[in-house]
Structure 1
Amino acid sequence: MLMLDPYNCTNYTAAWDWLSSYQPVFMVLLSVVGVVANGLVLCVFCLQRKPCTVADVYLGNLAAADLVMVSCLPFWAATIANNYHWEFGEPICKLVNVAISMNYYCSVFFLVLVSVDRYLALVRPMFQSRLRRASWAKRICLGIWIMGFLLSLPILVFRRVKYVAKAGVMACVLAYPHPDWEIQRNVTNNVVGFLLPVIVVSYCSRHIVTSLKHGQIRKTPGVRSERKATQLLLTVLTVFLICWTPYQVVRFLDTLDYFQVTPGCLWGHILDITIQLSTYLAYAHSTINPFLYVIVGRQFRKRAKEVFGTIQLGCLQYSLALSNSCCN
């Protein structure tokens, strides 16, 4: 039986070896499935004949953020498979990690916007706001992308490729000038990137569910459509919380570990491993979202059939025209 010594961290290399052996395969799988799935979702939102609703604009941008994030995962899969040796240069080191950070902030902010839109549509239907116009929604999304970039600026500045003597590799690391910067990043991530959005989303969702449950909403065709969109939203929000809450909790515990609440290196080692596991659960969220649109979103399935039916018809017509021209 292995005895866990909180002051001896040499016993835990087996756990890291096991984790590192599965990470590259898992990340490549997430990337391939996520790129295809989110790419198809974007095709549906961009090529549909009907004008985009406000919710479509927000969900389309959410799919774009997820697509960017899963496109970055192969770089880290290759790096982990190569014992964390970074071979892509410092500019790519900065770009990839800024993109991953932006994806998180933008994703959670887009979900907040969809929640507010559903709240205004179902709970405050008489409240006419510019927020419920597609043109304004696009401008708001641009602002969200800019905000996500600004929140990721520390990563752009302090991510660099440097030699790590302990591992004996040139690694892409986040080299803050002082340990307090790491604490500030964790707190910003917890508060701005999770706690405040969850408060807003919970408030909106509670009122939406209450209105639906007590039948306070008139059953007109337009409202029934809004209800279906809301069911999709609530499912997406639930999955978001399942995927991202463990990561946020572990990051908070990591902040406490900075103040040496627990002696020895056992706690820090366990945190390092759980941060890795919770991070990849969070990454999986970007791959799961498109399947939620298909499984829960009846209107999305209808639009997808129309879009891909039109594409199939266009390809068939092109093939016939090409064959006729060859015969002539």
Structure 2
Amino acid sequence: MLNWTFLPEERELEADSEEASLEIKKPDLNASKEQNACYVSERYKQVYLPITYSLIFILGLVLNGAVVWLSCCQTKPWSCATIYLMNLMVADLLYLLSLPFLVVTYLMSDTWLFGEMLCRLVRFLFYTNLYSNILLLTCISVHRFLGVCHPLSSLPYRTRRRAWQTAAATWTLVVLQLLPTLVYSRTKYVNGRAICYDTTSPENFDRFFAYGVVLTFSGFLFPSLIILVCYSLMVRSLTSPVENLPEAGYLARAKSIRTILLVCSLFALCFVPYHIARFFYFVTRFRNSRDCELLSAASLAYKICRPLASMSSCLNPILYFLSRGNNRAQLFQKLRQNKDTTLQPDQRGSKEDAENAEEEDGNDEYQEAIAGI
């Protein structure tokens, strides 16, 4: 088993979740004590990460704050889409408030100045933001799919009450999944300086690796598959021919498809590279690779991609602003008529008069979903 130690003048493994400089001890066939040192320079992150996190903090605070203010000032009851998006904004704001601690830490050469409780809380908020974002985006994609592909039969499931219940269940699941991070994250004094582990201390990394693999599958791969299936079926539905659809309807459909592709692209940009780099880095550490170039590449990729995951806090408000698009009621009405051809006009009118407030909200949600909100 390969043993990793640190050069005396460098920080211990994962001063901020990553190693600074490693010394790899290779077993000698002649039982010699000769050591081969593997230097992994991380000076770049003391510039790159404070700059990127500062920009994300400023931009994210402005955008998310604007969304919360606009949503709270509107007199119309929140739609289901707005409920999900507001939960996203809350998750983003909680994470953004933790970024100044990380900026100061990187500027201080990974020295943690804020105590163990804040160390655990900051690491917990990062992962909470990451996986609540993914799961809430999954909820939104399922909601849109039902509104586009099953607009009438799904009305009982697309109400504000259901949206609040789903959001509460999502938060509960995320917190339960991430409780172990409060145990694994900790502080430790190394060479007279306090460091805050992002994953865990080196002696506990094997157990954390197993937990991390399970979390990747349950928190990222499975939800990503659901999102991919939902949006693929939505695009297929939107590209299917509709008789007697006005030209404006085709333009609205095309815009909806472009919006779906944009949302998928944003998801892929923020979460896919991070999880690939993170898995590569974890496997490299777990296998105790002797390849210095591989170790350096894994460390570099992980650090470069970390701000991409945080960047979702700036990009999520785009989903809200996309939902404030132009009125496309003509298209929505035409598509609803195609879905409801079995009803006579007078029957349809009486049915609409009998709808309660939540069902009306569900109809609005169909319009938002078909528009790619």
Does residue 240 of structure 1 match 2:264? Answer: no
Q: Which residue number corresponds to residue 101 of structure 1?
A: 127
Once the two structures are TM-superposed, the CA of residue 180 in structure 1 deviates from its matched residue by: 2.4
Does residue 256 of structure 1 match 2:280? Answer: no
* Alpha-carbon distance in structure 2 between the residues aligned to 1:70 and 1:148: 18
What is the identity, as a one-letter code, of the residue corresponding to 1:263? R
Q: Which residue number corresponds to residue 121 of structure 1?
A: 147
Once the two structures are TM-superposed, the CA of residue 289 in structure 1 deviates from its matched residue by: 2.3
* Alpha-carbon distance in structure 2 between the residues aligned to 1:84 and 1:259: 23
Does residue 275 of structure 1 match 2:302? Answer: yes
Contact 2:200 2:208 (8 Å CA) reproduced: no
* Alpha-carbon distance in structure 1 between the residues aligned to 2:64 and 2:276: 27
Count of aligned pairs: 290
CA 1:269–1:218 in 2, change beyond 3 Å: closer, same or farther? farther
* Alpha-carbon distance in structure 2 between the residues aligned to 1:297 and 1:230: 14
The alignment partner of 1:162 has SS state of strand
Once the two structures are TM-superposed, the CA of residue 57 in structure 1 deviates from its matched residue by: 0.8
The C-alpha deviation readout for 1:72-113, integer Å capped at 9, x for no partner, is 111101011111111111111111111111111111011000
Q: Which has the larger share of helix?
A: 1
What is the identity, as a one-letter code, of the residue corresponding to 2:78? C
* Alpha-carbon distance in structure 2 between the residues aligned to 1:298 and 1:185: 40
Out of 162, 187, 204, the position equivalent to 2:188 is 162
* Alpha-carbon distance in structure 2 between the residues aligned to 1:256 and 1:179: 11
What is the identity, as a one-letter code, of the residue corresponding to 1:281? L
Unmatched runs of 5 consecutive residues or more in structure 2 = 1-23, 25-35, 328-373
Q: Which deviates more, 112-121 or 170-179?
A: 170-179
CA 1:82–1:218 in 2, change beyond 3 Å: closer, same or farther? farther
Contact 2:209 2:286 (8 Å CA) reproduced: no
* Alpha-carbon distance in structure 1 between the residues aligned to 2:139 and 2:43: 41
TM (norm. structure 2) is: 0.70
- State the structure with more CA Rg: 2
Q: Which residue number corresponds to residue 38 of structure 2?
A: 9
What is the identity percentage for the equivalent residue pairs of Structure 1 and Structure 2?
A: 29
* Alpha-carbon distance in structure 2 between the residues aligned to 1:226 and 1:58: 23
Contact 1:98 1:152 (8 Å CA) reproduced: yes
The C-alpha deviation readout for 1:211-270, integer Å capped at 9, x for no partner, is 111145996999x99997776455233201112111111122224324538533331222
Q: Which residue number corresponds to residue 139 of structure 1?
A: 165
TM (norm. structure 1) is: 0.79
Contact 1:86 1:170 (8 Å CA) reproduced: yes
CA 1:63–1:234 in 2, change beyond 3 Å: closer, same or farther? farther
Residues 195-206 of structure 1: pairs in structure 2 closer than 5 A: 195-206=221-232
> C-alpha root-mean-square deviation of aligned residues, in Å?
3.0
* Alpha-carbon distance in structure 2 between the residues aligned to 1:218 and 1:64: 43
CA 1:272–1:130 in 2, change beyond 3 Å: closer, same or farther? farther
Out of 25, 48, 71, the position equivalent to 1:45 is 71
The alignment partner of 1:25 has SS state of helix
